[in-house]
Amino acid sequence: MPKVAFICVHNSCRSQMAEALGKKFASDVFESYSAGTETKPQINQDAVRIMKKMYGIDMEKEQYPKLLEELPGIDIVITMGCNVQCPALPCRYREDWGLEEPSGKGDEEFIAVAEKIEEHVKDLAARIKNKEIGKECAGEGRVSDL
């Protein structure tokens, strides 16, 4: 099963939400991880609250901010849309989801980001199942090789 890493700079909000939603909606297709080049002391508390409210997921139960070095070998890298230099990580396939950072904004922003992540996770799972992705990322391999 391919390993997917959701990456953003601080690994405290969007990437954590993506890891949790990947585990909820796609654990039969890929393993979900998240990390960043820097970390915050804890997961964004607004994200924790919204994920509990929307999905019944307690991200703090099994997740914590991690550095890229803590990840196992990764097949697919998804960057969240850092609007700065996104972290790089060797992989077989890479894409950017271009998500706005909701930190410091209202619940509506967190809900919108969570809904977009859910949609992206389900789409990614379908594309992996159908072997529709994988020819990118410096020619290091293909999803069909996973």
CATH of the domain at 126: 3.40.50.2300
Note down the domain range covering 63: 3-145
Number of domains in the chain: 1
Q: Please, is 83 exposed, middle or buried when counting C-beta atoms within 10 Å of its C-beta (0-12, 13-18, 19+)? A: exposed
Rounded to an integer, the average pLDDT of 131-139 is 58
Q: Per residue in 63-88, pLDDT tens?
A: 999 999 999 999 999 999 865 556 66
Q: What percent of the chain has pLDDT over 90?
A: 73
pLDDT at 92: 86
Q: Model confidence at 141, in pLDDT bands (50, 70, 90)?
A: very low
pLDDT at 38: 87
Rounded to an integer, the average pLDDT of 7-18 is 93
pLDDT at 9: 86
- Closest by CA position to 76, among listed 91, 62, 64: 91
pLDDT at 82: 67
Per the document, the length of the chain is 146
- Closest by CA position to 14, among listed 57, 39, 44, 37: 44
